[in-house]
Amino acid sequence: MGGIDVFLRTLTQIDDGHGEEDLLNLTVEIKGYRGEDAKEKKTTMEVYWVPGVNNLGTHGRWAFAECADVYQIEADFKAKVESAFNSMIESVVGGLETPT
């Protein structure tokens, strides 16, 4: 395989502005080696699982982040949380009409 094969999956709940009663469930995978199976898993999580469980609406709100580069983990995690927060803001602001 080459390199170090490290894998850690964690689930964290984040208050992204929806309040403590509606925390974002963020699944984070940290890898030292990323094979083809990991690419397929990431695609499955982002394209099918997360949208499916969020559309169902009975298990809270979910997001997925994958971090593979040890030097990039903090920035990747921050970007994922900011993206979820910005989407939340856009859903609120996008629904507001501007006065004319």
Distance in angstroms (rounded) separating the CA atoms of residues 22 and 61:
8
Average of per-residue pLDDT across 8-13? 76
- HEC string for 70-84: CCCHHHHHHHHHHHH
For residue 65, the model assigns a pLDDT of: 84
Q: What are the structural domain ranges in the chain? A: 7-93
Write down the pTM of the prediction.
Answer: 0.62
Three-state DSSP at 16 gives coil
Question: Which of 12-16, 20-24, 68-72, 73-77 is least confident?
Answer: 68-72
